[in-house]
Amino acid sequence: MEIRNKTSTSEFILLGLSEYPEQETLLFALFLCMYVVMAMGNLLIILAITSDSHLHTPMYFFLANLSLVDFGLATNTVPKMLVNIQTKSKSISYSCCLTQMYFFHFFGIIDSVLIAVMAYDRFVAICHPLHYTTIMSPRLCGLLAGTPWMFSYFISLTHILLMVRLVFCGNNKIPHYFCDLTPLLRLSCTDTSVNKIFVLIVAGMVIATPFICILASYVRIIVAIMKVPSAGGRKKAFSTCSSHLSVVTLLYGTTIGVYLCPSSVRTAVKEKASAVMYTLVTPMLNPFIYSLRNRDLKEALRNLISKKIIPSS
């Protein structure tokens, strides 16, 4: 009740991806298929890693965490959009909107930091191979995987606490398919300068800083690989990093465009397109990116499918 007393708006209208009703059937089918592929892919990755003892290593431990986060990120936004299209209802309550925003930032922040953690894991594996098992101890792996969850909890909660103090009146239409922070701030009829400053601070911490750490790690990795005498050794070392670099490009290419570019060059269409990329397309592609060029993971997936999905008679 306290939340509603601070705003005259009890619900928002999510305008969705398209302004044309005739496109909604196509969008529903497309996004439903993409979501099913995303969910199956990430859940299979998690099951394969947890069920195969050969994959109980730091690299696959972080990959399982990434798959879990990607599943949560997509599930937080896409099902609600599908329900809205199917029921022809675009409304979302104020409290549900804030809840969706909280989990969007919660999973998004973890995603960004985990990508940087995985870059550090590759740096240690390639630049310090003899000390890899000593450096990447179970305790450090647990710390590197658990800290982003705790950090994201407090950052996301702060976003919501700052949002609760705002008043929304008049226009309640959000030109988006979920409750994202930036479109919602534009609807407030009170001063949002504190919120915008905090957005920039958080963007620096969870987007710019991890991205710089990733670049620094890969500079060291490339230098180390170039010192490998054999061409086959260099190719093998590069192949272990190619999947991760693809994910980095997909994730940071879209998030930097949304949160670090000037608002003058951003439009609602660009924001929605970028959001689709990092809330659904990237989580859907990640399992394929990591599994297609990974022999051990493909073998684990084949064993999982043969044992669980197609049990022997």
| pLDDT tens-digit readout, 45-85 | 999 899 888 889 998 999 999 999 999 999 999 999 999 88
Return the higher-pLDDT residue of 5 and 269: 269
Residue 11, classed as helix, strand or coil, is strand
CA 257 to chain CA mean position, Å: 15
pLDDT band, very low/low/confident/very high, at 7 (cuts 50, 70, 90): very low
Question: What domains are there in the chain, each with its CATH number?
Answer: 12-149+174-179+202-297 (1.20.1070.10)
Pairing between strand 91-93 and 11-14?
A: antiparallel
Asked whether the predicted pLDDT for residue 124 surpasses 80, the reply is yes
Residue, of 64 and 18, whose pLDDT is higher: 64
Confidence of residue 39 (pLDDT cuts 50, 70, 90): very high
Q: Which residue has the higher pLDDT, 310 or 305?
A: 305
Written as one letter, the residue type at 193 is S
Q: What is the pLDDT of residue 160?
A: 94
Mark out the alpha helices in the chain (DSSP H runs): 2-5, 24-51, 58-87, 94-127, 132-135, 138-164, 181-187, 193-203, 209-226, 231-259, 268-276, 282-292, 295-304
Of 266 and 21, the structure prediction assigns the larger pLDDT to 21
pLDDT of residue 293: 67
| Per-residue model confidence as pLDDT tens digits over 243-270 | 777 777 777 776 665 555 555 555 667 7
Tell me the two tokens of residue 132. Answer: 């890899």
User: Beta 173-174 vs 11-14: how paired, if at all?
Assistant: parallel
Question: Bigger pLDDT: 150 or 52?
Answer: 150
The mean pLDDT of 223-242, rounded to a whole number, is 72
The rounded percent of the chain whose pLDDT value lies above 90 is 35
Torsion on CA atoms 111, 115, 117, 122, rounded to nearest 10: 160
Residue 1 has pLDDT above 60, yes or no: no
